[in-house]
């Protein structure tokens, strides 16, 4: 497939800015989806208001080889501290795969926003949602990995000035939080036991009360003194 490049943002002192060139991709899945309302849409209204695009996703199976087709290696744009032991001539260079591995690990661990250029589309704001490495017997110098990227969507907050006259007249407050009617409230009269308990509670610490039956009938009055 076409060449794929991943541009990493600067993360001093971790990454001073780098571009990773994927030598080969065996598969690319470009996913664009949207959330469509399940409710009926009113006739004549805008249908687009009921369709919310979701972040795009990109899934790739990638290969970074220690023996690129061109020399010097395509990935020589790595910062020297992440490239590992670099080769001095044609032949396998493990520094290329080591550098790719370290860059991917740093970007995944720090939640970096990456710019990904594929042969089909440019993705300027992508984050690593999944990263899996595969090892191949007999070819351990190369780096095989599966990469899942998801688009980051940004929103801009807007502010507006409110006239003082609107604030003074409480117009804005009524529009933001209009008063709601709570309906008619019904006042209930307390039962005889409830009235007796309320009278005792409000009569003071040295009051004497009588214990009443649950049905409201007085039985066996027992004076009880409250200690101040």
Q: What single string gives the DSSP state of each residue in 78-102?
A: S-HHHH-S--SSSS--HHHHHHHHH
pLDDT tens digits, 7-20: 998 876 666 678 89
Dihedral sign (CA 45, 175, 169, 163): negative
Pick from 46, 1, 50: nearest CA to 25: 1
More confident residue, 152 or 195: 152
Looking at residue 70, its pLDDT comes to 53
Average pLDDT over all residues of the chain: 75
Half-sphere exposure of residue 164, counting CA atoms within 13 Å on the CB side?
0
Q: What stretches of 64-168 show up as alpha helix (H) in DSSP?
A: 80-83, 94-110, 164-168
Query: What's the alpha-carbon Rg for the chain, to the nearest Å?
Result: 36
pLDDT band at 32 (very low <50, low <70, confident <90, very high): very high
Q: Cα(211)–Cα(220) distance, rounded to whole angstroms?
A: 7
Which residues have C-beta within 8 Å of that of residue 154, sequence separation ≥ 6?
125
Looking at residue 131, its pLDDT comes to 96
Question: Residue 161, Cβ neighbours under 10 Å: how many?
Answer: 5
pLDDT tens digits, 137-178: 777 788 999 999 999 998 888 888 877 776 666 555 555 555
Looking at residue 209, its pLDDT comes to 45
Q: What percent of the chain has pLDDT over 70?
A: 63
**What helix, strand, coil percent values describe the chain, rounded to 5?**
20, 30, 50
Mean pLDDT, range 109-115, rounded to an integer? 92
pLDDT tens digits, 60-103: 999 998 877 654 444 444 443 444 444 444 455 667 888 899 99
Looking at residue 26, its pLDDT comes to 92
Which residues have C-beta within 8 Å of that of residue 142, sequence separation ≥ 6?
63, 64, 65, 66, 97, 136
4-8 and 18-22 beta bridge pairing: antiparallel
| Phi, then psi, of 133 in degrees rounded to 5 | -100, 140
Dihedral sign (CA 37, 42, 46, 47): positive
What stretch of H or E contains 192? Answer: helix 192-201
Q: Picking from 24-28, 115-119, 131-135, 191-195, which range would have the lowest pLDDT averaged per residue?
A: 191-195
Looking at residue 121, its pLDDT comes to 94
For residue 225, what are its two tokens? 């003194």
For residue 65, what are its two tokens? 């080889």
Domain coordinates of the chain in residue numbers?
Answer: 4-37+47-151, 192-225
């Amino acid at each position: 497939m076409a060449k794929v490049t991943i541009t990493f943002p600067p993360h001093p002192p971790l990454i001073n800015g780098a571009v990773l060139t994927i030598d080969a991709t065996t598969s690319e899945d470009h996913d664009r989806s949207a959330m469509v309302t399940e409710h009926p849409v009113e006739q004549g209204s805008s249908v687009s208001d009921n369709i919310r695009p979701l972040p795009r996703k990109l899934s790739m199976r990638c290969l970074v080889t220690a023996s690129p087709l061109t020399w010097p290696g395509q990935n020589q744009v790595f910062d020297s501290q992440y490239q590992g032991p670099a080769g001095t001539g044609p032949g396998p260079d493990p520094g290329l795969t080591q550098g790719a591995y370290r860059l991917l690990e740093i970007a995944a661990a720090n939640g970096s926003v990456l710019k990904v250029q594929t042969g089909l589309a440019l993705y300027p704001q992508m984050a690593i949602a999944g990263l899996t490495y595969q090892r191949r017997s007999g070819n351990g110098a190369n780096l095989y990995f599966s990469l899942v990227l998801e688009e980051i969507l940004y929103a801009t907050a807007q502010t507006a000035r409110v006239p003082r006259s609107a604030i003074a007249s409480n117009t804005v407050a009524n529009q933001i939080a209009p008063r709601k009617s709570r309906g008619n409230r019904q006042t209930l009269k307390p039962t005889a036991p409830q009235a007796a308990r309320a009278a005792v509670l409000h009569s003071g610490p040295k009051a004497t009360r009588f214990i009443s039956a649950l049905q409201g009938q007085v039985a066996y009055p027992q004076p009880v003194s409250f200690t101040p």
